[in-house]
Chain A
Amino acid sequence: MSELTNTLALSASGMQAQAARLRHVSENIANTDTPGYHRKMVSFEDVIEAGRRTGEVRTGPVTLDQSTLPRIFDPSHPLADESGHYDGSNVDLVVEIADAREAQRSYEANLRMFDQAKQMQAALIELLRR
């Protein structure tokens, strides 16, 4: 019983981490056209409690992609310098969409595990009902 409860907590932590990742992806997509925007990247790490790994997962600190920003030529833009260029954002929509798809896939896998652990627990309790 406690193993199954533990399973529910593990799957829930996985879903939470994937949801946080999806949120950063959507922030990046929303800021595709923001001048000077650096793409946000987030990694996953183990949760360590009292010096031991609990097996749960969480999102690590957010880092900014430091690759060079593209120079966009548009003399009419308010941020354009003397040469008529301004800094765009380094968000690549294809990468972001691939990332979102992966997050969705992992989220679904976690959800299925959650559902299955719940079913197993329900079947166990069903034994007591007779």
Chain B
Amino acid sequence: MFQNLEVLRQAQAMASHAGARQSFIARNIANADTPGYRPTDIAAFAESYRNAGSDAGLRQTRPTHQMSGDEKSALTAAMTRPVPGAASPNGNGVSIEAEMMKSADVKHQHDMALSIYQNALGILRTSLGRPR
């Protein structure tokens, strides 16, 4: 555990995925009445975490590697996908109910990631002999 704190890394990835997805949901809901707007979403955490090394193209393998803003947004663009569903007469495809469901999911995922992180830190502290 101490050589490579995979738990902390995974919890951090999970929380930041929840943050990114929440941003997409907020965008869809803000545009719920914009004519011609098609909602977008990103892949679920399990899928994007599994594929993180294979299809992303660029990967940070050393801490000195830095991604420019453009590369980062290109990666995000590669992860986005349109949400299937019928469009209303003005061409808008947002379903507020579906977005609410997704946001409840995101909240749950974020809470879970944070508690895992906190617990892992607690274990570390205990192993160092300090009170939590």
Q: Give chain A's interface residues, CB within 8 Å of chain B.
A: 1, 3-4, 6-7, 10-11, 13-14, 17-18, 21, 43-46, 55-57, 102, 105-106, 109-110, 112-114, 116-117, 119-120, 123-124, 126-127, 130
The residues of A that contact B114 with a CB separation of less than 8 Å are: 123-124, 126-127
Q: By the criterion CB–CB under 8 Å, are A120 and B22 in contact? A: yes
Name the residue of chain B whose CB is nearest to the CB of A45. B34
Q: By the criterion CB–CB under 8 Å, are A4 and B33 in contact? A: no
* Majority SS at the chain A contact face: helix
Q: By the criterion CB–CB under 8 Å, are B19 and A17 in contact? A: no
Query: Shortest distance in angstroms between B95's beta carbon and chain A's nearest beta carbon?
Result: 11
Q: Give chain B's interface residues, CB within 8 Å of chain A.
A: 15-16, 18-20, 22-23, 25-27, 29-35, 37, 96, 99-100, 103, 106-107, 110-111, 114, 117-118
What is the bound-complex CA distance between A117 and B25, given in angstroms?
A: 11
Q: By the criterion CB–CB under 8 Å, are B34 and A57 in contact? A: yes
Q: By the criterion CB–CB under 8 Å, are A109 and B31 in contact? A: no
Contact sample, A vs B, 8 pairs, CB 8 Å cutoff: A3-B16, A7-B22, A10-B30, A11-B29, A14-B29, A46-B34, A109-B100, A120-B22
What is the bound-complex CA distance between A63 and B59, given in angstroms?
A: 49
What is the bound-complex CA distance between A18 and B33, given in angstroms?
A: 9
Name the residue of chain B whose CB is nearest to the CB of A46. B34
Name the residue of chain A whose CB is nearest to the CB of B31. A57
Q: By the criterion CB–CB under 8 Å, are B30 and A119 in contact? A: no
The residues of A that contact B22 with a CB separation of less than 8 Å are: 3-4, 7, 113, 116-117, 120
The residues of B that contact A123 with a CB separation of less than 8 Å are: 110-111, 114
Interface centre among A1, A3, A11 (most CB of B within 10 A): A3
What is the bound-complex CA distance between A111 and B46, given in angstroms?
A: 29
What is the bound-complex CA distance between A18 and B30, given in angstroms?
A: 9
The residues of B that contact A17 with a CB separation of less than 8 Å are: 30, 33
Beyond the given pairs A1-B19, A11-B26, 10 more chain A to chain B contacts, judged by CB atoms under 8 angstroms and listed by A's residue number, are A4-B23, A7-B22, A14-B29, A44-B34, A44-B35, A112-B100, A113-B26, A120-B18, A120-B22, A127-B117
